Structure 1
Amino acid sequence: MKILFVHQNFPGQYRELLQWIVAQGGHEVVFLTQRRDVRQVKGARIVHYLPHHRPAEGAYAATKYWEECCGNGLGAAFAAQKLEAEGFRPDIVVGHVGWGELTFFKEIWPDVPILGFFEYYFLARGGSVGFDPEFPASPHAPFLMHARNAVNFANIQTVDLGLSPTLFQRDTFPESFHPKIYVKHDGIRTDRLRPDPKASVPLNRLGRAVTREDEIFTYMARNMEPTRGFHKFMRALPHILDARPNARALIIGGNEVSYGKASDARGGYRAEMEREVGDRLDWDRVHFLGKVPFAAYQQIIQVSRCHVYLTVPFVLSWSCMESMAMGATIVASDTAPVREVITHGETGLLVDFHDHEALARQVIEVLARPGDVAHLGPAARRHIVETYDFETVCLPEHIRRMNGLVPKARRIALPGA
């Protein structure tokens, strides 16, 4: 099969699928992306494209996002034309619709099927916008959110088939979209992400490595921001450390903003929260680790006695499922995307996102009586293995859907099929 992957931030959601297809051999794979810092992948060709246009800083707010996505779409389309001129015509295009990159591909290849990733429909109500009263929505939010969905509306017509990784994400889209979108997660490598009772994490400040024998609790987000409940975690932190004098917090994440409004404060939301709760913290037991390599992240979760995952109603983080695969005891926000993967008392513990004191009480209880919740980590792992494992659950469905769009002679064979 000749496959063209399209994602402005290589590899995006296609990391495992790309690696698996390349490893099979016999397929011609091209990946179109804006990233220029990507090394070539053995068995695939990485092609860079530039947006054809970028909106001005002061562009009209209601159409600025569409303008940006059109620039991405035309840049990607012109790159596709160049690939065609060089002799590459894909059997299928697989890509993310959210940045407009797929919008014009049918103008290049009318008969080439497109499988589009529908990640999120911008909601003015019922989603991330306005969920936290501390960050009220602008009066213009309903109009701006609906305007941003022009990209989704254009692309549901462009694609031959869509996919969403979770039911929550699929259900943010209008019902008219649903018949064209199948639901299947990208997949979790549960064969690689496992509990490890021998894991250890060196802490320079402590002068030794911490292990499962230590009272470690963890928080992780790509960036420390309100969308991922960082402010709630920080407000719970003094209560947890006061109640558990031997506990240490290991915090993973950058100081930028991935989702939502950036902080107006110098130093971002971390600086804001340090000023708010800093005089009530034992800083010797708070470890901000920044963004860490994947192997280090695994070890941090593997030594954690309690892992905290918080999110507003938005796209669920891979880290939540990955932590479950590693057998973590998770205290998470009782929000819709989390409830899809965690059942309270069975595979984790859920607390009100808005109640940082309830969060603190639950974490303290886990740290104080780990034996009472010892069943949660193994049950969480079993659930991820049975429902979200990449090789045995998710991959077969994605390949079946791709194969359904191309002639039989060009299809990908699954092992054992």
Structure 2
Amino acid sequence: MNILFVHQNFPGQYRELFKWLVAQGGHKIVFLTQRKGVPQIEGAHIVTYAPHHVPADAAYAPTKYWEECVGNGLGAGFAAQKLAADGFRPDVILGHVGWGELTFFKQVWPDAPIIGFFEYYFLANGGSIGFDPEFPASEHAPFLMHARNAVNFANIQTVDLGQSPTLFQRDTFPASFQDKIYVEHDGIRTDRLVPNPTASVPLGRLGRSVTRQDEIFTYMARNMEPTRGFHKFMRALPHILAARPNARALIIGGNEVSYGKASPEKGGYRAEMEREVGDRVDWNRVHFLGKVPYAAYQKIIQVSRCHIYLTVPFVLSWSSMEAMSMGATIVASDTAPVREVMTHGETAMLVDFHDHEALARQVIEVLERPGDVAHLGRNARAHMVERYDFMTRCLPAHVARINSLVPRTMAISPPS
């Protein structure tokens, strides 16, 4: 089968599916991306495209995002035209709709079935906008958010089938979209993301490695920002460290912004929150590790006595489910879509996102009496294995959806 993947940041949500299909052999696989410097992979062909147009900073706000998406779509579409001229015709196309890359693919291959990844519909109410009263929505937010959905409206007509990873994310879309979107997570490699009681993490400032014998609690986000509750975590930090004099915080994440507005302060939200909590924190026991390699991240979670995951109602982080697979004891925000994958008292402890003191109390309790909550990590891992394992649950579901759109003679053999 000829398979085309499209994602501006290779490999994105297709990391495991792409690798599995390449490993099967017998397919001609092309991955179209904006990401530069991706090495060629045996069994696949990586093609880089550039946006055809990038809007100016001063572009008209309500249409700026659509303008950017059209630029991406034309860049990807022209690259698709070149692939077609070189003789490539995909039997199926899989791509993320959110950046507009798929918008013009039916103009290149009218008959090629497309499965589009529908990650999020921009909501003025019920999602990330206005959820935290500390960051109120502007009066123009309903208009701007709806304008950003132009790319979703264009692409629901482009695709033959949609996919969303959680029910919450699917249900952000209008009812008219939902019958066309199936819900299945990308999948977690629970066979690789496992507990490791002997894991250790070197801490240069400490002069030694920490292990499960140390009182470690962790927080992770791609970037330290309010959408992922960084400000709430930082306000809980003084209380946790004061109550647990041997505890250390290991914090993973960059200092940029992935979602929402950037901090006006130099140094971003980290600098802003460090200034706010100030001398109430023993900074010798706080370790900002930045963005770390994937293998190092796994070890950090494996040594953690308590892992903290916070988010406003928005896209669910892979890291939350990966931590569950590794058997972490998690304290998380009682928000959607967290409640879809974690159950309070069974697989995690859920707390009010807005109450940093309640967060601190729950983390302190976990650190103080880890034996009382040891079942949470075991149950969390069991839940990931049963419902979200890539090989046994998610992969067969995705293969079945792909096969439903292609002739039976081309069908991908389901995983054994």
Equivalent in the alignment of 2:118? 118
Residue-by-residue CA offset, 1:383-405 (whole Å, 9 max, x unaligned) = 00000000000000001000111
Residue-by-residue CA offset, 1:63-106 (whole Å, 9 max, x unaligned) = 11111101110111110000011111110110000000001111
Bigger Cα displacement from structure 2, 35-44 vs 146-155: 35-44
Asked whether the 8 Å contact 2:249–2:286 carries over to 1, the reply is: yes
Q: Scaled by the length of structure 1, what TM-score is found?
A: 0.99
Equivalent in the alignment of 2:282? 282
Asked if 1:295 is matched to 2:295, the reply is yes
Q: Distance in 2 between matches of 1:113 and 1:248?
A: 51
Residue-by-residue CA offset, 1:134-176 (whole Å, 9 max, x unaligned) = 1011110000000110110110011000000000100000111
Unaligned runs of 5+ in 1: none
Q: Distance in 2 between matches of 1:185 and 1:45?
A: 25
Q: Distance in 2 between matches of 1:266 and 1:95?
A: 36
Correspondences of 1:148-163 after superposition (within 5 Å): 148-163=148-163
Amino acid at match of 1:308: I
Correspondences of 1:167-182 after superposition (within 5 Å): 167-182=167-182
Equivalent in the alignment of 1:104? 104
Residue-by-residue CA offset, 1:280-323 (whole Å, 9 max, x unaligned) = 11011000000000000000000000000000000000000000
Q: Distance in 2 between matches of 1:66 and 1:283?
A: 44
Amino acid at match of 2:223: N
Q: Distance in 2 between matches of 1:302 and 1:314?
A: 26
Equivalent in the alignment of 2:410? 410
Correspondences of 1:18-29 after superposition (within 5 Å): 18-29=18-29
Q: Distance in 1 between matches of 2:370 and 2:56?
A: 54
> Percent identical across equivalent pairs?
81
Correspondences of 1:265-414 after superposition (within 5 Å): 265-414=265-414
The structural deviation recorded for 1:55 is: 1.0
Equivalent in the alignment of 1:85? 85
Equivalent in the alignment of 2:199? 199
Equivalent in the alignment of 1:131? 131
Asked whether the 8 Å contact 2:391–2:415 carries over to 1, the reply is: no
The structural deviation recorded for 1:279 is: 1.0
The structural deviation recorded for 1:410 is: 1.3
Equivalent in the alignment of 1:263? 263
Q: Distance in 2 between matches of 1:165 and 1:40?
A: 28
Q: Distance in 1 between matches of 2:351 and 2:216?
A: 20
Equivalent in the alignment of 1:66? 66
Equivalent in the alignment of 1:56? 56
Secondary structure, in 3 states, of the residue corresponding to 1:336? Answer: coil
Q: Distance in 2 between matches of 1:358 and 1:182?
A: 36
Secondary structure, in 3 states, of the residue corresponding to 1:375? Answer: helix
Q: Distance in 1 between matches of 2:10 and 2:322?
A: 20
Amino acid at match of 2:346: E
Residue-by-residue CA offset, 1:205-254 (whole Å, 9 max, x unaligned) = 11111110110000000000000000000000000000000000000000
Q: Distance in 1 between matches of 2:145 and 2:357?
A: 32
Residue-by-residue CA offset, 1:154-207 (whole Å, 9 max, x unaligned) = 100110000000001000001110110000000000000000000001111111
Q: Distance in 2 between matches of 1:210 and 1:101?
A: 44
Asked whether the 8 Å contact 2:396–2:415 carries over to 1, the reply is: no
Equivalent in the alignment of 2:183? 183
Q: Distance in 2 between matches of 1:326 and 1:28?
A: 34
Secondary structure, in 3 states, of the residue corresponding to 1:340? Answer: helix
Q: Distance in 2 between matches of 1:296 and 1:372?
A: 28
Q: Distance in 2 between matches of 1:54 and 1:371?
A: 54
Residue-by-residue CA offset, 1:351-370 (whole Å, 9 max, x unaligned) = 00000000000000000011
Q: Distance in 2 between matches of 1:415 and 1:70?
A: 37
Amino acid at match of 2:408: K
Residue-by-residue CA offset, 1:307-357 (whole Å, 9 max, x unaligned) = 000000000000000000000000000001100000000000000000000
Asked whether the 8 Å contact 2:103–2:155 carries over to 1, the reply is: yes
Q: Distance in 2 between matches of 1:192 and 1:302?
A: 12
Amino acid at match of 1:409: T
Secondary structure, in 3 states, of the residue corresponding to 1:374? Answer: helix
Q: Distance in 1 between matches of 2:353 and 2:415?
A: 43
Equivalent in the alignment of 2:242? 242
Q: Distance in 2 between matches of 1:173 and 1:195?
A: 36
Amino acid at match of 2:233: F
Q: Scaled by the length of structure 2, what TM-score is found?
A: 0.99
Equivalent in the alignment of 1:214? 214
Q: Distance in 2 between matches of 1:3 and 1:317?
A: 27
The structural deviation recorded for 1:36 is: 1.0
The structural deviation recorded for 1:415 is: 3.2
Task: Work out the number of aligned pairs and report it.
Answer: 416
Unaligned runs of 5+ in 2: none
Amino acid at match of 1:292: V
